[in-house]
Structure 1
C-alpha cells in the first residue's frame, strides 16, 4: 500500500511540474526580431570573432547559403533595394517591383512590409523599425508605430554607418523597454559600406573588423532581450547579399554574392543546420508563423516558414 502511495505522489509531482512548465510557457507572450546585417558574407562572419552571432546559431538553426534570388524570378539586380524589399515582405522582386536601388514603381501597397500582417492579427501590438539606410524607412516600412532612420543627413561611408549602427542599437534597446514591441526590424549597415570601401572578403581586415563591431552591437540587443523573462522571442538574422571585390551588382551567377545566410534562433527554433535550401523570403513567413499569424494564400507570399519546432 505504501508503495502505491509513493508512486501516486511521484506521478502527481511530475504532472504538477509539467503543468507548471506548460503554464509558464503559455503565459509568455511571443515577440520577434528581424535583424538585418547588410552585405555580410558568411565566410567572413566565420573568420571574424562573433560570439554573439555564434550564440544565436547555437540556440537555433542556420544556413550559410540562403539564396537572395528565387527560381521563378532572377532579373532584379543583386543590390540592397530588392534584397531588403524581399526580406521584409516575403515576396520576390517581380511582385514588390523593386529592381534596383531606385524604387521607381514599388508595389508595397499590394505586397506590404510584414508589420502589416502583424497589425491585422494584433491591432494593439507595437511595431518598431530602426535602420540607417534611408530607403527602407522611406519606401518599404509600413504599419510601424515607430520608424527611425538614424544616419545623419549628408554623412556617408563606413564611419557614418558605424555611428548610425550604434544609434540604432541604442534606440532598439530603449524601445524594447518603453514600448514592449511585438515585432522589431533592426538593420545595421556598416558591414556593407566597409565592403564597398575595402573589399568583401574574409581576408580584408577592415571588413572582418566591421563584422566584429556589428556582432558586439548584436550582443547588446540580445542581452536586453534576455532580460525580458516574461516574453519569448524568436530572432531571425539575414543579409541582403554577399559581395565580390568592392561591389555586388550583377551577381546572379556569383555564389559569393548570391548567397546570404539565415539564422532562426530562440526556444521556438529547431537546432542545428538547415538540410534544405532556404531563401531570404523565408524570413517573413517564419516570423509570422511563430507569432501564430495565419498566413492567407491571398497574400501570395513566396517564402515559407522554416526552422520552427
Structure 2
C-alpha cells in the first residue's frame, strides 16, 4: 500500500510539473514581440512580379527580415474573399465572404463576434488591449465592409493611395497605434485596365515599392522601428486582365515580415496561407487567438 501511495504521489508531482511547464510556456508564447504592427496590403500584387520588377525597398525588408514568394491566397483568388481571410484568420468556408466584391457574407458566418461580423484581428486587439489604438486606411471602398468599424480608432477611405498612406501614417505615428492596416489599390487597377505583367503594371508595382520605402523611412524617423513589425502582402495576383482562377500567377502572393524580433532569415520554408497573417500579427502583439480561427502564426519568421 505504501508503495502504491508513493507511486501516486510521484505521478501527481510529475503532472503538476508538466502543467506548470505548459503554463510557463504559454506565458512565454504570449509575450509581446512588438508594440506596433503595420500591415501593408497591395491589391493585385502577384508574387511573380519579383522576377522582373525593380523593388529595392521590398528587397531590403526581405534581406533584413523574412519572406515567402510562395504564400497563397484562398480560393477564389479575388479581393474581398482574401482581404477578409487576411484579417479574419480563417477562410471563406468559415467567414462566409466568397466573392470579389462581397459586402456581406454569402455563406452565413460560422461565428458572429461583438462587431456583428466574423471576428477580425481588430476584435482581438479591442478585447485584449482595450487602451491600444488601431486603425484601417484603405483606397478600395470594399475594405470598409470587412472589419469592425465600432472597434477601430481610424476608419478612412482615401481617394488615392497617397492620401491613404498619409492618413494612415499621421494616425499610426501620432497615436503610437498598436495596429494599422494600410490597403493600397495599386497595381490592381493597372492589372484590370491594361493587364497583369504589362509595362504599366510593373510601373505601378515599382511605385508601390517606393511607397513602402516612404512608410519605412517615416517609422525610422519617428524612432519607432525598434518596437515595430511591418508585414507586406497582397490579396492575389492575376493573368490577362483578370483574377480569381487557380493558376499560380493568380494564387501566389508575396508575404514579407520585417522589424522587431524578426531575424534576417531571408526565404522561409513555411507553407503560408493569407489567413496566417492575422495569427502572426496576434503572435507579435502577444494576443491569444480564438479556437475557431484556422490561421497559425508563421513562427519560423521569429526563430533564430
- Shorter-chain TM range is 0.7 to 0.9
Check whether the contact 2:33–2:261 (CA below 8 A) recurs between aligned residues: no
Check whether the contact 2:66–2:256 (CA below 8 A) recurs between aligned residues: yes
* CA 1:257–1:176: 2 relative to 1, 3 Å: same
Offset, 1:140? 2.9
Q: Does the alignment pair 1:304 with 2:296?
A: yes
RMSD: 2.0
Q: Indicate the residue corresponding to 2:102 in structure 1.
A: 102
Q: Deviations over 1:255-299 (max 9, x none)?
A: 1111112111113224111112111111011111011112232xx
Residues 1-309 of structure 1: pairs in structure 2 closer than 5 A: 30-69=35-74, 74=75, 77-100=76-99, 101-105=101-105, 107=109, 109=116, 111-142=118-149, 143-151=151-159, 164-201=160-197, 204-229=198-223, 232-249=227-244, 251-252=245-246, 254-270=247-263, 271-297=265-291, 300-306=292-298, 307-309=301-303
CA distance in 1, matches of 2:121, 2:256: 18
Q: Indicate the residue corresponding to 2:11 in structure 1.
A: none
* CA 1:195–1:29: 2 relative to 1, 3 Å: closer
Check whether the contact 1:78–1:248 (CA below 8 A) recurs between aligned residues: yes
Check whether the contact 1:59–1:267 (CA below 8 A) recurs between aligned residues: no
Check whether the contact 2:34–2:284 (CA below 8 A) recurs between aligned residues: no
Number of aligned pairs?
Answer: 260
TM-score (norm 1): 0.79
Structure 1 unaligned segments of length 5 or more: list them.
Answer: 1-25, 152-163
CA distance in 2, matches of 1:99, 1:28: 33
CA distance in 2, matches of 1:228, 1:210: 27
Structure 2 unaligned segments of length 5 or more: list them.
Answer: 1-30
Q: Indicate the residue corresponding to 1:4 in structure 2.
A: none
Offset, 1:141? 4.3
Q: Deviations over 1:15-53 (max 9, x none)?
A: xxxxxxxxxxx9996110111011111221342221111
